[in-house]
Amino acid sequence: MNQEPIKKEKILEELIEFKEKDLKFSDGRILGSMCTSANSLAKKVFYDFLDSNLGDPGLFEGTQSLEEEVINDIGSLLSLEKPYGNIVTGGTEANLMAIRAARNLAREEKNIGNIAADEYIVPELIVPKSAHFSFEKAADVLSLKLVEADLDENYQVDIGSVKDNINDNTIAIVGIAGTTELGVIDPIKDLSKIATRNNIYLHVDAAFGGFSIPFLKDLGYEIPKFDFSLDGVCSITVDPHKMGLAPIPSGCILFRDKKYLEIMAVEAPYLTTKEQSTLVGTRLGAPVAATWAVMQYMGREGYGENANECMINTHFLADSLSKEGFELTVEPKLNIVSFNHPKIPTDDLAKMLEKEGWMVSVSSYPKAIRIILMNHIKHNHMVEFLDTLDEIKANLDIK
Amino acid sequence: MNQEPIKKEKILEELIEFKEKDLKFSDGRILGSMCTSANSLAKKVFYDFLDSNLGDPGLFEGTQSLEEEVINDIGSLLSLEKPYGNIVTGGTEANLMAIRAARNLAREEKNIGNIAADEYIVPELIVPKSAHFSFEKAADVLSLKLVEADLDENYQVDIGSVKDNINDNTIAIVGIAGTTELGVIDPIKDLSKIATRNNIYLHVDAAFGGFSIPFLKDLGYEIPKFDFSLDGVCSITVDPHKMGLAPIPSGCILFRDKKYLEIMAVEAPYLTTKEQSTLVGTRLGAPVAATWAVMQYMGREGYGENANECMINTHFLADSLSKEGFELTVEPKLNIVSFNHPKIPTDDLAKMLEKEGWMVSVSSYPKAIRIILMNHIKHNHMVEFLDTLDEIKANLDIK
């Protein structure tokens, strides 16, 4: 560390060099990210609320009110009149909170995972094989056995497999509304029935889909129910910083009942709050204010337009790829396209694309090139991308 | 949620009303917070890096380099040439990561806390009674038995009590360099010896003290060793967003060895990184860049001046209170003053102060008024505060 202070101007100058090594969403080359460039209003608001700490909410009552409004608004979006929850750092913290609530409840109600019990019962968590890796993290952190349910031919969770894996030690089932790799929506209605019948907690990970499915439904897209309108759903993860266009870090966890927050509340002495249920302690208020602002600014109509545009680009890309001899993994339901070429190994194709400046990502199951059509990806970017694929095929003598 | 988009101007206007309900650090009335107003350069840099996500570091290689530099600089501050770690959301996440590393290591090396073992052994964590409540959270989250060691007459952890509580299931011991309630520094050297002798992980929570003790030592303050210069110390939590003057959320966890990060790494498919050891997934790059900037801007000298000024205000307040018939809980070693009046119940005094606009906090052990002399608290604020205390005493007919 430097001994003497360095001048502002020199610091800012040096930072420009670092910043130039970061990629920009606006270049349209980041094809594998579920995040996007934050809206300029949201960025201004973020800046204005940089000092606000919701870990000590009594000092920042204005920001606390904004959080309540955001939680209520997202609740109404997901068919829950009185939601309980928080704006958190993202989908991982939200998923961890949900599973922690389920485990703590199982400790109290069923003696599962209770370290004070005579015999320790290991809690089990059932997730689709397509679940985000944050559930593997949750299992490690929370000391759970992770049980993966199989997928069916559409890469949705196989309901029979979920049923087969339920036992007395199951503390929760997870369903996904917009898988990270394919954008597939699990049959949440069936999961809800199973969860209710077996008295097991059901969490829905809608980190990606939660801020687009409701608006696409408004526009007439046929997507089955996935939210709190289904009785069995206890909690939903939804990320404003994905399709909600809020700046990172803005995740959201919503619970149907207050008891889920209470069961994991830790007493917070010397702060202006009595207890804390989030995983994180110091909580930046800025993303809350920024999320509030961007939600007002977009409105249901604005979000609908955005989701629809992303879907139009998605269908354009998917259709073009099909015509060009590429194979789609699934017919896109949300704005993700997953594909392969029968004659080019996936990793090779990814490397060739990266060499041409396209930051694609490769999914693990099934192995495929994965493109997220976020709003920073415009039609012209996709035309250029298809041109690059043409060139790659030409170089490999593939017609 | 609103159906139609709302105009920018209207949104910003409405936000002003919310913001007015938040308190401002610059008013000098927030006496119970370890955070402070962010430096203006840091805020500008934060804004410039708002799109950068270190959860997907391959896209943001510039910001990733900044994180490496910050980690190395903080490592050098804490006597560790090659540190491993991350900028995280704050002390809570940092403490959770450290204890998770210790537990995961105990799983592998000692079969403690291993859910796949024939018989499950409950891991035990020893913390001083003065530990931050994030360790209670860590114990709940990580399924540990929390064992509280007693304090001695100076409110430092009692070494005998720590020794008495060690058993075969102990996975870690925690020492604190700047307790949240009193700013007391535990005898880390003794803890280091015990940890080494018993082959137990030692974590130091220097969230508050880590960014002031090294500078105060530079200036000749007599403070014993507390960092990686002691062999037994495996990890240290230090919060740049406290005495480091970085904007929230900027915490830091440093490990002595790479294995501590590796033992809790979860594979991260489809991202530009192979694995993730942080608790949180999406990680805002902005606080990393802002912390880098503010550290350069301050330098060791600037931080020394800041820490020293805070100590001068601390001694002024402590001495004045003593003269006015108040009783100090301890002689301040860092910039926290804890006091009571023999004739006024603590909670009553806190309420009377709050009524006069002073946001003080009340510590739990011992019960006392707790003032953190952060750099937003200036000499004149303390003079006004002492005036208020005079008035309160006069109203109660206390001389």
Helix (H) or strand (E) holding A386: helix A379-395
Q: Measured between CB atoms, does B148 come within 8 Å of chain A? A: no
Chain A touched by B322 (CB under 8 Å):
no
Strand, helix or coil for residue A184 = coil
Distance from CA of A20 to the nearest CA of B (A): 7
Q: What is the DSSP string of A324-372?
A: TT-EESS--SSSEEEEEBTTB-HHHHHHHHHHTT-B-EEEETTEEEEEE
Alpha carbon dihedral A71, A76, A80, A82, in 10-degree steps, equals: 50
Q: How many CB pairs under 8 A join A and B?
A: 326
> Per-residue pLDDT for A273 more than 80?
no
Averaged over A342-353, what is the pLDDT?
A: 97
Q: Which residues of A touch B361 (CB under 8 A)?
A: 270-272
Per the structure block, which two tokens stand in for B293?
């900037």
- Reported confidence tier of residue B166, pLDDT bands at 50, 70, 90: very high
Residue B284 contacts A where some CB pair is shorter than 8 Å: yes
Interface touch B65/A18, C-beta < 8 Å: yes
**Closest chain B residue by Cα to residue A357:** B59
Residue B89 contacts by C-beta under 8 Å, 6 or more apart in sequence?
A89, A280, A281, A282, A283, B249, B251, B280
Predicted pLDDT of residue B158? 98
Mean pLDDT of A262-274: 85
Name the 3-class secondary structure at B368.
strand
Q: In A, which residues are within 8 Å of B67 by CB distance?
A: none
DSSP string, A228-256: TTSTTEEEEEE-TTTTT-PPSS-EEEEES
Would you state the pLDDT for residue B39? 87
Residue B38 pLDDT exceeds 90 = no
At residue B272, does pLDDT exceed 80?
Answer: no
Query: What per-residue confidence (pLDDT) applies to B2?
Result: 93
Q: With a cut of 90, say whether residue B268 has pLDDT above it.
A: no
Mean pLDDT of chain A: 96
What whole-number distance in Å separates Cα of residue A350 and Cα of residue A318? 17
Q: Cα separation of B355 and A150, whole Å?
A: 60
Q: Is pLDDT above 90 for A20?
A: yes
The DSSP annotation for B148-193 comes to: EEPB-TTSSBPHHHHHHH--TTEEEEEEEBS-TTT--B--HHHHHH
pLDDT of residue A377 exceeding 90, the answer is yes
* Predicted pLDDT of residue A274: 80
Which residues have a Cβ under 8 Å from the Cβ of B40 and sit 6 or more positions away? none
As a whole number, mean pLDDT of residues B150-167 equals 98
Percentage of chain B with pLDDT > 70? 100
Residues of A in contact with B241 (CB under 8 A): 282
pTM for the full model? 0.96
What does the alpha-carbon distance between residue B8 and residue B34 come to, in Å, rounded to a whole number?
34
CA–CA distance, A196 with A230 (Å, rounded to integer): 10
B146 close contact with A: CB closer than 8 A: no
Pairing of strands A233-238, A201-205: parallel
- Residue B19 is predicted with a pLDDT of 95
Is there a contact between B136 and A73 if contact means CB atoms under 8 Å apart?
A: no
B156 by Cβ neighbours in 10 Å (0-12 / 13-18 / 19+) ranks as: buried
3-state secondary structure of B307: helix
Edge-to-edge strand ranges of the sheet holding A84-88: A84-88, A251-255, A233-238, A201-205, A170-176, A124-128, A145-149
Flag whether residue B16 sits within 8 Å of chain A, measured between CB atoms: no
Q: What is the mean pLDDT of residues A26-46?
A: 93
pLDDT value at residue B206: 98
Look at residue A342 and tell me whether its pLDDT is greater than 90. yes
Distance CA(A2)–CA(A107), nearest Å, equals 51
Neighbours of B4 (CB within 10 A): 9
Please check the confidence at residue A272 and state whether its pLDDT lies above 90: no
Check pLDDT > 90 for residue B319. yes
Tokens representing residue A183 in the block: 């954008």
pLDDT digits over A40-82, tens only? 999 999 999 999 999 889 999 999 999 999 999 999 999 999 9
* β-bridge mates for residue B336, sequence order: B372
Distance CA A64, CA A67 (A): 5
Asked whether the beta carbons of residue B92 and residue A137 sit closer than 8 angstroms, the reply is: no
pLDDT grade, residue B131 (50/70/90)? Answer: very high
**What is the rounded radius of gyration, in angstroms, for the C-alpha atoms of chain A?**
22
Chain A, window 46-105: residues with a beta carbon less than 8 angstroms from a chain B beta carbon = 46-53, 55-56, 58-63, 65-66, 73-74, 76-77, 89-93, 96, 100, 104
Query: Which residues pair with residue B173 across a beta bridge?
Result: B126, B202
In this predicted structure, what is the pLDDT of residue B377? Answer: 97
Nearest to B256 by CA among B277, B239, B236: B236
Percent share of chain B, pLDDT over 90: 95
CA of B27 vs chain A CAs: smallest distance (Å): 12
Which chain A residues are Cβ-neighbours of B39 within 8 angstroms? Answer: none
Contacts of B108 in chain A (CB under 8 A): none
Closest-CA residue in chain A for B367? A270
Min Cα separation B194/chain A (Å):
26
> How many whole angstroms separate alpha carbon B78 and alpha carbon B101?
20
Contact assignment for A249 to B282 by CB distance below 8 Å: yes
CB-based burial, B54-91: b 16+ in 10 Å, e otherwise: bbbbebbebbbbbbebbbbbbbebbbbeebbbbbbbbb
Q: What does the pLDDT read at residue B188?
A: 98
Handedness of CA B148, B149, B150, B154 (dihedral sign): negative
* Whether residue A270 has pLDDT greater than 80: no
A214-244 pLDDT, tens per residue?
999 999 999 999 999 999 999 999 999 999 9
Residues A390, A387: Cα–Cα separation, whole Å:
5
Q: Residue B100 and residue A47: Cβ atoms within 8 Å?
A: no
Chain A residues closer than 8 Å to B299 by CB: 1-6
**A186-195, A329-338, B32-41: which range is least confident on average?**
B32-41
Determine the Cα–Cα distance for residues A385 and B181; give it in Å rounded to an integer: 58
Q: Which chain A residues contact residue B58 at CB under 8 A?
A: 359
Confidence bin at B269 (pLDDT 50/70/90): confident
Q: Which residues lie below 8 Å from residue B288, measured CB to CB, with a gap of 6+?
A: B49, B52, B54, B63, B66, B67, B70, B87, B250
**A228-252 CB burial, b ≥16 within 10 A, e <16:** bebebbbbbbbbbbbbbbbbbbbbb
Measured in whole angstroms, the distance separating CA A394 from the mean position of its chain's CA atoms is 37
Q: Among B38, B89, B104, whose Cβ lies nearest the Cβ of A89?
A: B89
Query: In A, which residues are within 8 Å of B281 by CB distance?
Result: 89-93, 134, 137
DSSP-derived letter for residue A169 is: T
Evaluate whether B125 touches B119 at the Cβ level (below 8 Å): no
pLDDT 10s digits, B197-232: 999 999 999 999 999 999 999 999 999 999 999 999
Q: Which is nearest to A361 in space by CA: A373, A371, A374, A349?
A: A371
pLDDT score at A224: 95
Distance from CA of residue A77 to its chain's centroid? 16
At residue A372 the predicted structure's pLDDT band, cuts being 50, 70 and 90, is: very high
